[in-house]
Structure 1
């Protein structure tokens, strides 16, 4: 080892002995300012470097930077905003919002933070979505489920035309962030039919793909073979006699083929697509449109509970 390399090793060993090296001697405010330009996981790691870093990394100054700039306005939309103003530190508030989605907009939407980066996450409840025939009890039923985030979910009774649409303004999301949109649903206790091996067209900002709303290994039930056959023979007569003509079908889907996955909360989700939210003043009123369609097969479908559509940041694998 040459003298230059030996000197570098000696400097590193000396810094390890005093904890944070030269940074150790900086004022706490300076260290806090440096930490605030990192990420929440980085701040937690840096708190292990030394006592100076630990005290700086937990300050409200640091964690205020990790919270959205308008977090107070968002919290004020909750039915119980006062419960979130009593936290002893901004770090505790941050962690609470990561693990406990906050119901806002009269309980029709939930707000949360992504734990890794503090980016904004929303779930649009089924009540906030546009569901064709959603207010007709013979096709859709509104019910309560104990494990659901919202007070009501939409239960599919039976339809041959499945169309669900929603949207969110770009300005309510974090800037310069890649987002994914996910349909959150599950089968009712009695099971579902009409979705086995049935492609479903989905779209995010006009980009279409194909997904499935039933797991690939789910065995086909006898009812699925009988019910669609019976109703397909009367489908034309039914549609002709309905008060309003059905909306036109969307263009052909392209790509996709993804199957749903189970979430940690026990629900299922399938990715509908993604989009990059540029943000900024010019984009804040832009509406990100999201849709789910199965309108071509003519087969009858039933038995799923739709909780909503979640919009959250995507992480690199």
Structure 2
């Protein structure tokens, strides 16, 4: 998993825009930091992940792990989700994240790919929304997960 602290979050260091909180994942009881969106009109979250350690021939599902809070607002516009694989293939789609359950970690799909020789390198991924010009609030970001698809 690429944790929130390892993502490039626009205004992530501005305490008026994002708050960083300690969170204990119940599965392994490891404490991590989660980014909680306070207020932005320009959402941009980017990151990269090296694929060299992934199992050959395995299909991986890549997802943003987020939680929409009860206090969330400003999500009437879709966010753009994109990924670029090491082989140059780009995948892009839009998600209306206001439809996701509140106060529960959910997986927002980014892409799927099969680990192969042509996909050795880095997967670049992003989530952004800045066309609507609306202020957004109330989303927690844990990170991006790369999991074998079942």
- SS of corresponding position for 1:127: helix
Residue number in structure 1 paired with 2:106: 268
Larger radius of gyration: 1
Cα distance in 2 for residues equivalent to 1:151 and 1:145: 5
Question: What is the Cα deviation at residue 295 of structure 1?
Answer: 1.4
Q: Deviations over 1:25-68 (max 9, x none)?
A: xxxxxxxxxxxxxxxxxxxxxxxxxxxxxxxxxxxxxxxxxxxx
- SS of corresponding position for 1:310: strand
Q: Deviations over 1:161-200 (max 9, x none)?
A: 1111111112121112221111111123x4201114x211
Residue number in structure 1 paired with 2:134: 299
Work out whether residues 2 and 145 of structure 2, in 8 Å CA contact, stay in contact via their aligned partners in 1: yes
* Closer, same or farther: CA 261–124 of 1 in aligned 2, 3 Å: farther
Q: Which structure has greater strand proportion?
A: 2
* Closer, same or farther: CA 146–170 of 1 in aligned 2, 3 Å: closer
1:140-289 equivalences in 2 (<5 Å): 140-147=18-25, 150-188=31-69, 190-196=70-76, 198-205=77-84, 206-215=90-99, 260=100, 266-279=104-117, 284=120, 286-289=121-124
* Closer, same or farther: CA 183–283 of 1 in aligned 2, 3 Å: closer
Greater RCO structure (CA 8 Å; 6+ sep): 2
Residue number in structure 2 paired with 1:114: none
1:50-129 equivalences in 2 (<5 Å): 123-129=1-7
Q: What's the Cα RMSD here? A: 2.0
Cα distance in 2 for residues equivalent to 1:164 and 1:213: 14
Question: What is the Cα deviation at residue 145 of structure 1?
Answer: 2.9
Question: What is the Cα deviation at residue 310 of structure 1?
Answer: 0.7
User: How many residues are paired up?
Assistant: 141
Question: What is the Cα deviation at residue 207 of structure 1?
Answer: 1.2
Question: What is the Cα deviation at residue 151 of structure 1?
Answer: 2.1
* Closer, same or farther: CA 261–177 of 1 in aligned 2, 3 Å: farther
Cα distance in 2 for residues equivalent to 1:283 and 1:163: 25
Q: Give unmatched runs, 5+ long, in structure 1.
A: 1-122, 216-259
Report the TM-score when normalising by structure 1. Answer: 0.42
* Closer, same or farther: CA 309–150 of 1 in aligned 2, 3 Å: farther
Cα distance in 2 for residues equivalent to 1:214 and 1:283: 33
Cα distance in 1 for residues equivalent to 2:71 and 2:64: 18
Work out whether residues 178 and 314 of structure 1, in 8 Å CA contact, stay in contact via their aligned partners in 2: yes
